Structure 1
Amino acid sequence: MSAASASGSEPVAIIAGNGRLPFYVAEAARQAGTPPFIIQLRSERSHDWTDFDHMEADIGAFRPVVTALQKRGIRKVVLSGGVTTRPDLFGLRPTARVFLSLPSILKKLKSGGDDKVLRMVIDLFERHGFEIIAAQAIAGDLLATTGVLGTVAPDREAIGDIRAAAEAARTIGAMDIGQGAVSLGGRVVALEGAEGTDQMLERVRTMRESGRISRKHRGALVKLCKPQQDLRADLPSIGPETVRAASAAGLGGIAVEAGRALVLDRAETIAEADRAGLFLYGLEPDEIAAPAS
């Protein structure tokens, strides 16, 4: 599904998970003349929202969130940032409108992958007349661009690793497992699961140090949207921390989809990659073909 756009004159709410992305989206909305209302997920708190109209809410506390949005006349909502926890039965506070859907909701929370859970959350908001808009509709300058982003370009071996890792990432994405994969010397050595990208890269670092994988070949990390992914939420993202983790794992670089991935702290991320001698590359959407050498 394509990303919905935002009007600069309409109020917007940001459901803030962890990480820096919610802050960037909030600043972009404020600079566009529409100070956002922030709903900080209590278990994912990672920023001080004192300067914004805000509230905290537990995961699954849907009823008070709907009430707060309706009170402020807000119809547009952005889902932004990571979520590491899921609500249990005792944490759910549904509205009357979704109460009858609880069995289905609980089943998805228990056994569904991230994509299914996000689709469920989007559906719940839409049932109440809200419109989910994409983070990139407000902060479009975060989107990765095509080609080499820094001063280091992927060489022939890296191109092979990008191809292999991209194919693996698409495969696990279609299974709603993760968005990233690492290939080294043309061999896929790590797949991203529920633990996330940084933890996957830590596994690669440990395997390299123990001799489980080659120290001769550098390898590449590729992060792609899941084939079935709703582009209004959970786009793949990288930032300075990703670059540092990739460098610590001995990788040669990172590739993401241009226009379908976010680069946070762009200047710092590129500078960090240049210092480490890593390439950053924006692949054409829906394309596994190698970039030009």
Structure 2
Amino acid sequence: MDGAPRPKGRLAIIAGGGALPHHVAEAARQHGEDPFIIALAGEAGDAWSDYERRTLGIGNFREISATFREKRIDRVVLSGGVRRRPEWRDIRPTLRTLSRVPAVLRTLLSGGDDAVLKMAIELIEASGARVIGVQEILPDLLAEVGPLGSVLPGAADEADMRAATAAANALGALDVGQGAVAVGGRVVALEGPEGTDSMLARVAELRRQGRISPRRRGVLVKLCKPQQDLRADLPSIGPSTVKGAVAAGLAGIAVEAGRALVLERGETMAAAEQAGIFITGLDRGSPAGKEEVKP
């Protein structure tokens, strides 16, 4: 019937490494979805036995497109880390995406992570499905503005948040990472390809070596990159982030409200409360823009 809503198709999760795809899949089920998992070969773990799934190479758009048709996939969520970029021999285009192969190869050779993700989104949508952000189906995973628990940041923490926010913005503009740690108003660590947990382990080691003052605690800040497509790779924190922050001697964690995910919120907040550290959502849309933090 003309004007009648089209029946909703199935959701697919293209799963890379780490715990995030599992959290997304479980939460999607709780919201009434029956997610189909496309596990990226060499990236996704093996613990997908409870889901209908298929393991495919990251550049195999021919099989990905065929899977979309077979399983009536109309929405796709990209989730999890990708340690290795596909090589040219891994790219298997469809007829629709064949003309884009030269641009894909240029991006793989010289583009940053954000450029690669944008290219992947274009190719997936050319294969017949719409890429959506996790927040479109699971908005309750997003951090809100202000403290998320009973522990509040103090004046010294606010100064550290301002310093780490400026650093994270600059880092993101270079398409390198999303996080920074500041202690005593000084930036002591920037997130690279190793990820947040490894960066926090680095800060903990600097503490042990006496390179960071034991009298000053510090703050981890995680923000979206300024140019980031919000359909992929939103900043996220979870229980392991809290554990790493505690080991690094930090006072708290600040994430971008409305554009960062808090995974396993109950466990994450319980761990933060027990450790006496704060978790807060930052309002990046304030008039102060990118330079100030208003927790």
TM over 0.5: yes
SS in 2 for 1:100: helix
Asked if 1:256 corresponds to 2:249, the answer is: no
Q: Would you say the 8 A contact 1:144–1:262 is kept in 2? A: yes
TM-score, structure 1 normalization:
0.92
Residue segments in structure 1 that go unaligned for 5+ positions in a row:
1-6
Across the aligned residues of Structure 1 and Structure 2, the Cα RMSD in angstroms comes to: 1.8
Specify the SS of the correspondent of 1:282.
strand
Cα distance in 2, alignment partners of residues 123 and 69 from structure 1: 15
Q: State the one-letter code of the partner of 2:99.
A: L
**Helix, strand or coil for the counterpart of 2:73?**
coil
User: Deviation digits for residues 127-177 of structure 1, max 9, x if unmatched?
Assistant: 233211111111111111121112211111000000110011011111111
2: CA distance between counterparts of 1:202 and 1:77?
33
Aligned counterpart, 1:124: 123
What fraction of aligned residue pairs are identical, expressed as a percent?
55
Instruction: Give the Å deviation of 1:271.
Output: 1.1
Match of 1:269, as an amino acid?
Answer: T
Q: Per the alignment, do residues 263 and 225 of structure 1 end up closer, same or farther by CA in structure 2, a change over 3 Å counting?
A: same
Asked if the contact 2:251–2:278 (Cα under 8 Å) also holds between the matched residues in 1, the reply is yes
Checking the alignment, whether the CA contact within 8 Å between 1:8 and 1:34 is kept in structure 2 is no
Whole-Å separation in 1 of the counterparts to 2:8 and 2:128: 19
- Paired letter, 1:229: Q
- CA-to-partner distance for each residue in 1:226-281, whole Å, 9 max, x for gaps? 11111111100000101111111111110001111000011111111112221111
Structure 1 counterpart of 2:207, one-letter code: R
Q: Is the 8 A contact 2:68 2:129 kept in 1?
A: no
- Alignment-mate amino acid for residue 292 of structure 2: A
Residue 52 of structure 2 is aligned to residue 56 of structure 1 = no
Q: After the TM superposition, which residues 162-181 of structure 1 pair with which residues of structure 2 at under 5 Å, given as runs?
A: 162-181=161-180
SS at match of 1:97: coil
Paired with 2:96 and 2:9, the residues of 1 have a C-alpha distance of 25
The amino acid of 1:163's aligned partner reads R
**How far 1:47 sits from its partner (Å)?**
5.3
CA–CA distance in structure 1, aligned partners of residues 12 and 138 of structure 2: 14
Matched residue, 2:3: none
Q: Does the CA contact (< 8 Å) of 1:224 and 1:256 recur in 2?
A: yes
Structure 1: which amino acid aligns with 2:280?
Answer: Y
Comparing 97-106 with 246-255, greater Cα deviation is found at 97-106
In the alignment, is residue 245 of structure 1 matched against residue 244 of structure 2? yes
Shift of residue 8, structure 1, vs aligned partner: 9.1
Q: Which runs of 5+ in 2 are unaligned?
A: 1-5
